[in-house]
Structure 1
Amino acid sequence: MAHTIDKSNFKTAQIAVNNCKIHNRTTDQYCEDCGVLLCLVCARLSHVQHKCEAVQKLADDKKKVLKTTSLDVKERYIPLLHRRIEIIDNIKKENTNRCREQMAILLRHHDVILKNLAKIKEGHKERLMENLSTKNAALDLMKSELEQQTESLTETCSVLDEGNMTDYSFLQSFSSLENTLKTIPRSRKDISSSFYSMLVSPQKINSLMLESLVGTLLDTNEITLSEVASFVFGADAINSLAASSESACWLYEDRGTQIVQIGFQGEVLNTVDLKRECDAFTRGPHNEIIVSHLEEQSISVIASTSSNFHEENISTKPLAPEGVTLANNGGILVTLVDDSTKFTLDATSRRLVRLMTLSGEVTRDYEYREDGKSRLFTLPRRAIQKRNGDICVIDFLSETQGIIHVISIEGQKLSAYTGQNLEQNFLPTDILADDQCNIIITDPTNNVLHLLNSEGEFLKLLTPSKSSFSIPISLTLFGEIIWVGNLDGRVNIYRYRNDIVL
């Protein structure tokens, strides 16, 4: 609660000093710790550990600094409070604008839903009418045939009943009658099949399903990191991470020759010996270790057996693989460049993201925009695919500036993010997506993690609640556990809470 001054104390005359009820002595002492008047005995006994002073002396001392304090209040504290009030007013305005923006998004999305529902309704109505038209047309044809048969039978019976024909003619007519009767189906199967067959089957309306359709509400204050464990694994940077469970993770140290599986306390659980350095790695759909080798221009797929590890190499020549991650279809996403040191592109430069199978078959290259001329990337470092199929790419524009591209599976550019609320340039090094397709990015230059929504729009900066990063450069997520690798060899493990409020 803010401090308030009791104006009743502002009097022109001195307030009468009472005697102490315990010692019957004048209360001419003041305890600054407790803010109460005391007698000298109380000051020396029950308040002996406190800061006590004679009232008159203390008042004289305070009066000497009153002018300085008053000036400090007027020139420093009051302007400071005014600035904070101004900040509050500005935040309120910004909050109102943000709320209006979110309201507009909700209404636009609602209109899109209604428009699509109307389109679906019209499509269903059209199919209902088509079924009616088809069935009735078939019935009209059958009716016409039956009317012709009825007319023919009536005429034949009439001629036979007259009896004015030779026996030969009679036999011919009667035989024709019998043949006609044989063609009349005894079953109503053909007619029954022409009953109206298109049925509307309304689904039970589920409130959660409807709320999910309209859109969930995400309270960014509920998205937090709480520390689970922290340890120093080695002296070199933790270049890449790939969680295998909530309690185990594979990692690669910069300039190392092994990929190591560790537990919560940094204990080594397993080791894959590469016998050479690598640039990035990921886990395959069947627990393979997939490694990119920039200088060798190749990708290694290492599968474990009961007795050893089996390695197969995929050449990416003449391009070099910067990063590799697992794609949704069990294949891999590889960032490929012709030169990892140049940021200026010419007509022959190659900078792309490749979707390919583990056998090396190219599924698709993402290099140019829809016009086939404008490049998508400058120097792509790493790419991931979200559950909804969209692809997020870390792209370096220079040695000090990066960007996050979000493109659709068809290659359409959806959004771009260049950082927000930062003191230094945005230079991302790693990226992942959670189950709601929100995006998390490491930013070692500013020592934070960025959280974006599924559209690639900024939500907040994520910082841990109990400890600080030591320059985060890599990360991986399994369930609610995020592993963060740092430049100094430290690994931080956090519980990632991403509560959706409906």
Structure 2
Amino acid sequence: MDPKRCIQDVLRCDLCDNPAPSMYCDFCNKYLCKPCVGKHLSDLSKEHKVVPFEKRGSTPYYPKCQKHLSKQCELHCKPCDIPICVHCVSSGEHLGHEAVDILIRFESIKEVIHRDLSELENVIYPKYEDILSNIPARKADLNENSEKLKTAINRRGEELHREIDTISQKIKADLVELNTKHIADLNTQESDIQHTISGITQTIEDLRNILDSNDVSIACAYKSRNDKFRELPPKLKVCLPTFTPQKTNKEGIYQQFGSFSAFSNETEETEEHIFAMDSPATETSPSDRSFIDKPWIITEINSKYGRVCSISCLNDENIWTSGRDKIMRLYNLHGELVKSVQTKSGIKPLFMHDITVTMKGDLVYTDFDDRTVNIVKNTHIYKVIKLRGWRPRNICCTSSGKLLVVMDSDDDKQTKVVRYSGSKVERSIQFNDYGQPLYSSGSYYIKYITENRNFDICVSDNKAGALVVVNQAGKHRFTYTGHPGSLIKRLFSFAGSLFTTKELFNPRGITTDSQSRILTADWTTNCIHILDQDGQFLRYIDNCDIQTPWGLCVDTSDNLFVAEYATEKVKKIKYYK
């Protein structure tokens, strides 16, 4: 530290070292006494602004113009968001642009800085300190828990060793018992054969004696026993046992040994940063598939638990459902409840939760009332996105592992689509090239969303009676407002009534298939509209007794799942050959 600035000493002139300087150069940040002012100003290589000591720091330092180097920027161009000088204005470069005094801009920026500083000092920094202060205790808990787990693992290893020793002893005992039985059988046969051989030996001796004798009576009394001796005893066949060890299944051993529960580092402030969408797997599907003449229902799933609004395929055998309660349910194609998950907030929703499934099968859902987007991993739920001033409605996972979220402003006057990578905003889509809203507003209305194979973003806007499609960059491609056939269907159902376009076409769920065809559920006419990727109408699915269709999704074989709101059923429909 400069000794002249030490707190034990008074301020001194930076040129002559005299105490208590009465002047100050705001541009050079120099303390000056009155006699030294002239000397300081004589340095023409720099700009100077000398003010009384009491007014130091009051002189604004205007930035130099990048295009007119001799000029200072005293204005700020709002559309370009850059400082400009009067020559920039007179040159016509910023013709028609709103420009304000740069000091006004400076003061507004300072207000923002003051707010940020206050938040950093009074809110954010103390929270980080609090989190940091808890880490040593958490480390100690982690180490203590690790030691307990090691003890449990050792105990489990000893248990398995004992089990293996017991099994080994049992198998050896079985072997001894088997061997003893076979030995006993052989001993019995050996004894019987020895007895027969003794009989044969005696008979041979008797026959020799008869032949050597002239006793007629003995010879006449002889009875042959050869027939009996010709019947040889059966040979006892003993199959020697072998031992065939089973091939070691390491996975099975791991499962039997045990496993850890899922680790979780969830905290109130940072849990949204743990999420990272999975990379997509490469999928192939047949091209130029043709429709079947008459789509038909493969199977029906009865949800049994209330209105079904949103569905998403986990795989070709299981499907997630959600509706107007706080429970999301996984069903198999037999209608059996496989799993259920309650939202983390536990709030019965004012509006339904929307759901999507990541490439690796993790469930993601929106919570309108809690302003969050959450992911379910195993048995844990983690917050991915926390909104302020906006509420999430519908959602989908893209082929690149990103999230597309439809959200409504708190005042219900704005709606937009935001693409997220994890919890980071990548792009916000709200207006067309003319500054007009792409989507109708109002949280009461539904806007399902999906991504097509060509990366277009497709939104069904039931308030507007339209399907709005933009490209990946958010540029409007087309809007589909129904097909003339919808009018015929509606007039046949309600003869004599007049309807607007919005009433005729009331889209709800939306999905796309392997051919980049767009399918949307028409609530009004109880059918499914199928379009090509450029918005051209292709056909209806209207002969499968569909009632109040709402949520849609397709599996890997392009089978369509339709959630019926009124019947509480999910129908699986085949529409391709």
User: TM-score scaled by structure 1?
Assistant: 0.50
**TM-score calculated relative to the size of structure 2:** 0.43
